[in-house]
Amino acid sequence: MPRAKVQRKSTAIDMTAMCDVSFLLLTFFILTATARQPDPLDIQIPSSSYKIKVPDKDVAILSIGQGKVFYEIVGQDVKGKTLDNIGERYKIQFTPEERKRFSVLGAFGVPISALKSFIMMNSDEREKYAKQSPGIPADTAGNNELAEWILQNRKAVAEIHNNEPLRISIKGDAREEYPTVKKIIDILQDQKINKFSLITSAAGG
């Protein structure tokens, strides 16, 4: 009786199709990618059933959480111009290097006195700093730097983008107490900003 011969099959698979698919997906993701900026504050956005998307230019985002406020300017040109305005206002000279670094920064929460050193930090230090930073000072009575940032940002947007109004968006933590939010809204209303958007995430129901 002849022994049954087990036929050896090659283990190599044709990878061509898989390769095609994976590169197609890769191309898609690269093209749709907008790098997500790390959020310095731990924020849970409340959900809503609204359908309007947040525009991606001429906006400013105020992040509110744990009683602190962080500010984010959108757009590199606007960031640079706002920094110039702030420098003029507070008599601080910013070097072109600092201006360049600032124009790629995400949300920040730093008093203007520490702004220079904050700009020169690397991302690790910045993350560490954000954990213990007090946010942007927003005393309605005395040191109201937040109001100044908003004002200069509005001026910068108006100058660069032909008097487009700046849209203020508030990204609040769901657990935040209302009085903290009210304080920030009052600062906005002092500048006659009576319309603003609240950033929410899409809900199922």
Partner 1 sequence: MAELDTSSGGGKKGGKVRSKKVSTKVDLTAMVDLAFLLITFFMLTTSLSKPIAMDIAKPDQQDNDVRLELRASETMTILLGKNDKVAWYMGEAETAQPTIESFTEVRKSLLKNKEDLYKARGRQLVIVVKPTEGATYKNFVDIMDELNIAGIKTAPAIDDVNILDGEKAFMKQAGIL
**Quick one: which segment of 50-58, 71-79, 110-118, 119-127 binds partner 1 (CB under 8 A)?**
50-58
Least distance from C-beta 108 to partner 1, angstroms? Answer: 19
CB atoms inside a 10 Å sphere around CB 189: 12
Nearest residue to 196 via CA among 97, 3, 90, 62: 62
Q: From 76-84, 87-95, 126-134, 180-188, give the range in contact with partner 1 by CB under 8 A.
A: 180-188
Residues touching partner 1: how many (CB under 8 A)? 54
Q: Which residues are within 8 A (CB) of 73 and not within 5 positions of it... i.e. 6 or more apart?
A: 60, 79, 82, 153
Instruction: For residue 189, state whether it binds partner 1 (rule: CB under 8 A).
Output: yes
* Nearest to partner 1 of 50, 90 (CB atom): 50
Q: Which of 62, 64, 112, 138 binds partner 1 (CB under 8 A)?
A: 64
Give Dmax over CA atoms of the chain in angstroms.
102
- Considering only residues 6, 52, 104, 141, which one is a binding residue for partner 1 as defined by CB under 8 A? 52
Q: Does 169 bind partner 1 (CB under 8 A)?
A: yes
Please report the sign of the dihedral spanned by the C-alpha atoms of residue 33, residue 36, residue 37, residue 38: negative
Q: How far apart are CA 149 and CA 95, in angstroms?
A: 19
Site map for partner 1, 8-47, x if CB under 8 A? ----x--xx-xx--xx-xx--xx-xxxxx--------xx-
Q: How many Cα atoms occupy the beta-carbon half-sphere of 105 within 13 Å?
A: 32
Name which of 138, 148, 127 is nearest 67 in CA terms. 138
DSSP state of 45: P
Residues at the interface with partner 1 (CB under 8 A) = 12, 15-16, 18-19, 22-23, 25-26, 29-30, 32-36, 45-46, 48-55, 64, 169, 171-182, 185-186, 189, 192, 194-203
